[in-house]
Structure 1
Amino acid sequence: MSETAAPEGAKPKKSRLMLLIALLLPVLGAGGFYVTWSGLILAPHDGPDAPSVQVAPLADIAFVSVDPVVVALGPAADSRHLRMTAQLEVSSPHAAEVTLLLPRILDVLNSYLRAIPVTEIEDPAALTRIRAQLLRRIQIVTGEGRVRDLLVTEFILN
């Protein structure tokens, strides 16, 4: 009888190769992580040849404070009063003109806030709609191009 024996070197070679791969892959992965994390590669270049980031200058704006508005909500409301404070973003050349028109702006704010239903005021998502409506009314009072935005800084129901 003849025994067919496999070469003894083939089996240990395969297991050594798997052991080498099992040890080498984590080391390469950890090395790749470190090189990327430390910024050696794929990091922003801050040298003299780095492209400079161009920042656009701010528009010529000013902010005009609007006096606080307090509106009584009526007996059907859970809250008794609404207190709103705002700032108007205006073009700098028109800041004096908008300041001159503040009594009319306050009248528009009071009139609109008293006219909308209490349930709409108490809705948490209503502030965006109310702000847009107020901005449009303020732009009508002041004239087109003077008021750019209405920034509500305080909107309190108490």
Structure 2
Amino acid sequence: MAEATVDEEPKKTSKFMLILGVVLALVGGGGGFYAVYSGLILKPALGDTKDALAAQEDGNHATQDSALEIEALPLGDSVFVPLDPITISLAPGTGSRHLRFSAQLEVLSDYESDIRALTPRIIDVLNSYLRAVETRDLHDPTVLSRLRAQMLRRVQVVAGNDAVRNLLIMEFVLN
């Protein structure tokens, strides 16, 4: 008897399910992105309608395009208090010998006399901080915003968070 062998071709697996899964994942991901981006879901609640109307009247409401609410500070009640210029000698061998710094503080008008009385203490804090900054950091063009934030925080610690709104750098010269 002769053995008959039947060679069966292996079944080709259908890739239809794989393609269907990929297409559904892409459609679901795109739909989810659109729903979140357009604010259909996960939109911050504004509260009841009275609060929403009051926020619109004040001009402090968030737009549909932006999830962040930026509140503008009124400038009418602020005063600028100039600080005496500070000159700091830098370490030798850095290419620069001195840092000349001057600034003004944006202060609420109610606290102007208090801040003027604290000016020597504020200048001392700024002078101490600027002397502690690494000289190589002063040559970095992006360092000014970081220094400004650090100095503002130190001034607010001395003068109080409510009194000082901002620190404006008027002069920052390395020579």
Aligned partner of 2:115 among 98, 109, 112:
98
Following the alignment from structure 2 to structure 1, what is the Cα–Cα distance between the partners of residues 138 and 74?
Answer: 37
Aligned partner of 1:128 among 142, 145, 149:
145
**TM, length-normalised to structure 2:** 0.57
Please show how residues 12-51 of structure 1 align to structure 2 within 5 Å: none
Give 5+ residue unaligned stretches, structure 1: 1-53
Question: AA paired with 2:130?
Answer: L
Aligned partner of 1:119 among 136, 151, 170:
136
Following the alignment from structure 2 to structure 1, what is the Cα–Cα distance between the partners of residues 145 and 116?
Answer: 24
Give 5+ residue unaligned stretches, structure 2: 1-58, 60-72
Aligned to 1:83: 100
Query: What's the CA shift for 1:124?
Result: 1.0
Aligned partner of 1:65 among 82, 89, 93:
82
Query: What's the CA shift for 1:72?
Result: 0.5
Show structure 1 runs of 4+ deviating over 6 A: none
Q: What is the RMSD computed on CA atoms of the aligned residues?
A: 1.6
Q: Would the alpha carbon gap of residues 90 and 81 (structure 1) be closer, same or farther in structure 2, given more than 3 Å must change?
A: same
CA displacement 1:71-97 (0-9 Å, x = unmatched): 001113110000001000000010110
* In the alignment, structure 1 residue 108 sits paired with structure 2 residue 125: yes
Query: What's the CA shift for 1:57?
Result: 6.1
Following the alignment from structure 2 to structure 1, what is the Cα–Cα distance between the partners of residues 94 and 123?
Answer: 23
How many residues matched?
A: 104
Aligned to 2:43: none
Larger Rg: 1
CA displacement 1:126-146 (0-9 Å, x = unmatched): 000000000000000001200
SS at match of 1:119: helix
Aligned to 2:55: none
**Larger RCO (CA under 8 A, 6+ residues apart):** 1
Aligned partner of 1:150 among 163, 167, 170:
167
Identity %: 52
